[in-house]
Structure 1
Amino acid sequence: MKSLTLLILCCMMTASLSAGVFVKREEASTLVRQKRAGAADLSLAQLESLREVCEANLACEHMMDTSGIIAAYTAYYGPVPF
């Protein structure tokens, strides 16, 4: 049983590496910085108005808690109007 588990794990790692699933550290940090830059451009009043709109929709409010206000608003209401 342990050898079967090990074999499956090795096959999954090989498939992941050959598919290019992993991202280099520099690319990942660039993507994270770009994602954070969107919220920094908005004032606290603008973020609060987006939050109020998003709180009216339960699914948007849940996504806001997990992914952030900008991602949730964009997913449910389109681009940020500011």
Structure 2
Amino acid sequence: MKTLTFLLLSALIALCMCTGASDSDTKSVGAGDSPSDEGVFVKRDVAAAVARQKRAGGADLSQAQLESLREVCEANLQCEHMMDTEGIIAAYTAYYGPIPY
């Protein structure tokens, strides 16, 4: 999971560096142009609302319960892959049904 996060972060940094270099070479700044018009940035309150929605799914389970779900899901390679990409709750419910706690 740490490797996937590192690779994703590295790709994001590389993408930002590439687009930043090409923008400074070819972009002509007009009267209405500003960095916030590019659509890359999100306002703080919108980002906070999205982050809260993402965490809400696993907020009612304790660490021990999440760990037991991970142990069950790690026995199945397909479930383990889905766990890394979609999250433990989505993977467990897709392969084993509703969460028993």
Identify the TM-score tier after normalising by the shorter chain: 0.5 to 0.7
Correspondence for 2:83 among 58, 61, 64: 64
SS where residue 40 of structure 1 aligns? Answer: coil
Flag as ranges the 4+ runs of structure 1 deviating above 2 A.
none
Structure 2, unaligned runs of 5 or more: 1-45
**Is 1:74 aligned to residue 82 of structure 2?**
no
Percent identity (aligned): 79
| Number of residue equivalences | 53
Equivalences for residues 23-34 of structure 1 within 5 A: 33=53
What is the root-mean-square deviation in Å for CA atoms of aligned residues? 1.7
Once the 2 structures are TM-superposed, how far is the Cα of residue 37 of structure 1 from its aligned partner? Answer: 1.2
TM-score, normalised relative to structure 2: 0.48
Which SS does the other structure have where 2:99 is aligned?
A: coil
Higher helix share: 1
Structure-2 separation of matches of 1:79 and 1:38: 13
